[in-house]
Structure formats: structure tokens, C-alpha cells
Amino acid sequence: MKILVAEDDAVSRTILKRAVEKLGHECLVAEDGRSAWETFCAQPCVDVIISDWMMPDVDGLELCRMIREEERGARGRAYTYFIFLTALGDRDHLLMGLEAGADDYLSKPLDRDELGMRLISADRVTELHRKLAFQNDELENLNRMLFEQSRQDPLTRLGNRLRMREDLEVLQSRAERYGHDYAVVLCDVDFFKAYNDRYGHLAGDDALQKVSQTISASLRGGDTAYRYGGEEFLIVLPEQSVEMAVGIADRLRHTVEDLGIPHESNPPGNVVTISAGVAAFSSAGAPDDLLKEADAALYAAKRAGRNRVST
Ligand code: GH3
Ligand code: MG
Ligand code: MG
Ligand code: MG
Ligand code: MG
């Protein structure tokens, strides 16, 4: 273990350091509370602090409180086992020390066997803390992973409806509060049922991946595509008017068509195409109203012959 000894008395300090090193530990020393604190802060990890009580400036009690405070605040700081040095008959100090967050105490004058045993128990406790911290990290990683997975569509790797909802809520409140408008484009692959019937479901999956990749690759930084449903994608365009969104949607429509994925039942070009409906934020509506509007526009695009953009 890495052990920091804080002791203002030079003789006691040397004796303690020798004893600690003889037990096979690494020993850092500080001649008062302040320099102990500085050493502690400069080290990524100190397993044990053995601290005298009476020291000039920052005493042992204050040092102990500072350490515990630091552990509560700083993320990733490992637990430091704190042992007070107490002179015989120092019961009140001992109680105050334990209350301040000390784990254990050592009585003065130093008993080497006692020191050895106290450090064994320190090792047990710090080991437990390390394991707990490790498991906590693992749990946090798992949580992050689950959070991401629950918001991502596995086939296209686009955000799913849940992520879309959350993002739209944020955009909506920004639009309402600060007047940052946004537009949405609802895209739908044309005659996709027929595509599956003709080429098979796996080829259908493949086409959806290609279309979604092409769409997200064609978007600018702030714009986002989501998988809205089966063969439907929603594109969210912050700070865009309807007119600009129509321009973007039409460009996307062309890009998908240019992929040239054969689709015999989609005349006249006989390649996979999309239709799109565009709607923009209006101060009156909620995200749902906007989606309804985009859906109605999409329906109009389908009725007008597909492979086109409507508002
Ligand atoms: P329209 O031009 O009017 O949109 O016609 P459509 O055939 O595309 O519309 P419809 O809603 O009738 O059919 C959608 C099809 O999309 C049906 C469904 O099997 C297919 N689909 C939805 N999700 C997936 C998927 O993840 N993989 C595959 N392969 N097909 C899917
Ligand atoms: Mg002292
Ligand atoms: Mg160990
Ligand atoms: Mg559809
Ligand atoms: Mg369709």
C-alpha cells in the first residue's frame, strides 16, 4: 500500500516511516497537516494516511475532514483509510477523530505489531472500496450502454422514436422560449411492400440500411435522421424554414434515387425512391402537431405520384 505519514515530530516520523517500510509498504512523509494535504492532492491514490493529532496550522482532525470532503466531491478518487495517532488517555480526541471520518487509531508510543495488524485491516477495507468502485464503474458503463441501445434502431443505427421524442421536446422548448425554429421531413420508401415481395425481406433490410446511410451521410452537422417506423425516416432540421427544408428534402430524395437500387415495381425509374412531407415549427403546435402535418404532407406526396416532396 501507499501510506502517507503526517507527523510534526521528527523522531516519531522517522520511527513510523521505518516501521511502515519494514512491513513492505511505500511510505510518504509530511511534517504538518498542510503539506500532508498537498501530498495527498498531488497523488492519484493514497491508500492509508497515518496522522498525528497535534500539528501546526492544519491539525489531524482538520486534515481528516478535508480528505473526506475531497472524496465526496472528486469523482474517481479512491478511498483513503485514515488512522489517527493518539497518545495514551486521549479518549476525547479519539472520539472526535472517528466522528470526523477516521477509520482507526494507533496509540503512542508506537507498537510495531499493532501497526502491522492495523494495516492489515486497512488493506482489507481499501481493497473492498476498490472493488466497489470498480463495480460502480462497470454499472455506469452498463447504464450508458443500455441508455444508448434503448434509443438506437439496430438495423439502421439511427436514433429510434424514443430518441426522436426526447430531441424534439428539447427543440420544441427552445423554439418556444428563444424563437429557434425548426423543420421536420418525414420520408417514406415508395412501394416498399412490393420491394420485399419481389426481392425478399433480407434484401429489403439491406435497402433500408443503404437508404438510411445515404440520408444521414447527406445531412449537415446539426441535422439528425431517425427511424420513425418500418420504412419511414424523420429528419429534424434546426433553424430551418419550410422553404429551406423542402430544398434539403428534395436533395435527399435525389440522393436516394441516385443510389439506383433496382425496384421493378416502382415505375417509371424502377429504382428505390422516397416520398417526403415537410412541416415547420409554428408557435401554436406541439411536436405531435408538427408530425401530423408532415404525415399529411407525405400522404399528399404519395397521392401526387410518389418520388416527390410536399408541404
Ligand atoms: P407506399 O409507397 O404507399 O409507402 O407503399 P409501401 O408498400 O411502401 O407502404 P406499406 O405501408 O404498404 O408497406 C410498408 C412495407 O415496409 C411493409 C413492410 O413489410 C416493410 N417494412 C417495414 N419495416 C421493414 C423492415 O425493417 N425490413 C423490411 N425488409 N421491410 C420492412
Ligand atoms: Mg504533534
Ligand atoms: Mg492490497
Ligand atoms: Mg410507410
Ligand atoms: Mg412506403
Share of the chain above pLDDT 90, in %: 86
Residue 217 CB coordination number (10 Å): 9
Ligand 1 pocket mutation pick from 209, 231, 299, 310 by most atoms within 8 angstroms of CB? 231
**Could you give the CA distance from residue 52 to residue 54 in angstroms, rounded to a whole number?**
6
pLDDT at site 73: 81
Q: What is the DSSP string of 72-100?
A: HHSTTPPP-EEEEEEETT-HHHHHHHHHH
pLDDT over threshold 70, residue 32: yes
**From the CA of 164, how far away is ligand 5's center (Å)?**
20
Q: Are 214 and 251 in contact (CB under 8 A)?
A: no
pTM: 0.79
**pLDDT per residue over 270-301, tens digit each?**
999 999 999 998 766 789 999 999 999 999 99
pLDDT at site 282: 75
Q: State yes or no: is 231 an active-site residue.
A: yes
Q: Are 6 and 55 in contact (CB under 8 A)?
A: yes
End-to-end Cα spacing for the chain: 69
Any idea which of 104-108, 119-123, 145-149, 197-201 has the lowest mean pLDDT? 104-108
pLDDT at site 281: 85
**pLDDT per residue over 141-159, tens digit each?**
999 999 999 999 999 999 9
**pLDDT per residue over 223-259, tens digit each?**
999 999 999 999 999 999 999 999 999 999 999 999 9
Mean per-residue pLDDT, 75-90: 84
**Could you give the CA distance from residue 97 to residue 19 in angstroms, rounded to a whole number?**
23
ipTM over 0.85: yes
CA angle, 178 then 173 then 231, to 5°: 125
pLDDT over threshold 80, residue 131: yes
**Could you give the CA distance from residue 184 to residue 144 in angstroms, rounded to a whole number?**
28
Picking from 233, 231, 232, the residue whose alpha carbon sits closest to that of residue 223 is: 233
Residue 134, all three cell numbers? 470498480
pLDDT at site 284: 61
167-180 in b/e burial notation, b at 16+ Cβ within 10 A? bbeebbebbeeeee
pLDDT at site 145: 97
The residue among 77 and 128 whose pLDDT is bigger is 128
**pLDDT per residue over 173-218, tens digit each?**
988 888 888 999 999 999 999 999 999 999 999 999 999 999 999 9
pLDDT at site 25: 97
| Residue 151 phi, psi (nearest 5) | -115, 10
**From the CA of 87, how far away is ligand 2's center (Å)?**
10
Mean per-residue pLDDT, 48-65: 94
pLDDT at site 182: 93
Q: What is the DSSP string of 164-192?
A: HHHHHHHHHHHHHHH---EEEEEEEETTH
pLDDT at site 227: 98
Give the pocket of ligand 1 (CB within 6 Å). Answer: 155, 188-194, 196, 201, 204-205, 208, 230-231, 302, 306
Mean per-residue pLDDT, 128-143: 94
pLDDT over threshold 80, residue 222: yes
Average pLDDT, the chain: 94
Q: Are 33 and 51 in contact (CB under 8 A)?
A: yes
Q: For residue 268, is the peptide bond before it cis, meaning its omega torsion is within 30 degrees of 0?
A: yes
The band of 86, judged by pLDDT with boundaries at 50, 70 and 90, is: confident
Ligand 1 atom showing the smallest separation from residue 189 Cα? 8
